[in-house]
Amino acid sequence: MVDITELILDDHREQRRLFAMLEQIDRGEVEVLSAIWERLAAFLELHAQAEEELFYPALLEVGIAARRTAGVEDETLDAIHDHNEIRDAVAEVARHRVGSDEWYAAVAAANLANSDHMAEEEREGLTDFRRLAGLARRHQLAVAFAAYEARNYAGVRAVDKDPEGYVRAVEEKLQGDPSGSLSVGSLKRN
């Protein structure tokens, strides 16, 4: 069986590998730097979108079921906020000439934003999901995650999301309440 938490960790390892490659390539290798950066930038967004479509809704679902709503809400809010910061950092890289000092500084900022997110996700969200979701659920989600990334291998459009709006929408969907009133969680509407 394949496990969603392992697929996400595999993606994290690949992201770290690609950032490390950028640090080891000569500045004059502009075409190579561009190609690797373009692949990494597309991969970062695809990974974030796959998590937002599949992993974080499932984390909220199992957390609510386990009466750990506040904890998984906080983790999800942080993750969506982090994804927005990574998107913004990736967009900043595009503003600079590849191989320039400014480009390297922007890549380093994107690496830092992504590294901080991955570390927090590995400590919290992935750990909680392993504790709260059975192997069959983790396998089912892994299959969907792999399919999502395979279908969108060429990349997806980057769009910042409102973290609270994201959590509300997922919780509303989980509750099956089209009126939008929440009966769970710390983000209840008054």
Give the separation between CA 71 and CA 49, rounded to whole angstroms.
21
Give residues with Cβ within 8 angstroms of 55, minimum separation 6.
4, 8, 125, 129, 141, 145
- pTM for this model (two decimals): 0.86
Cα-based torsion angle of the residue sequence 63, 14, 39, 48 in order, rounded to the nearest 10 degrees: 10
Q: Say what the pLDDT of residue 188 is.
A: 47
Cα–Cα distances in Å, from 2 out to 7, 66, 69, 123?
8, 23, 26, 20
Q: Say what the pLDDT of residue 78 is.
A: 96
Residue ranges in the chain modelled with pLDDT below 70? 177-190
Q: Say what the pLDDT of residue 153 is.
A: 84
Q: Say what the pLDDT of residue 55 is.
A: 98
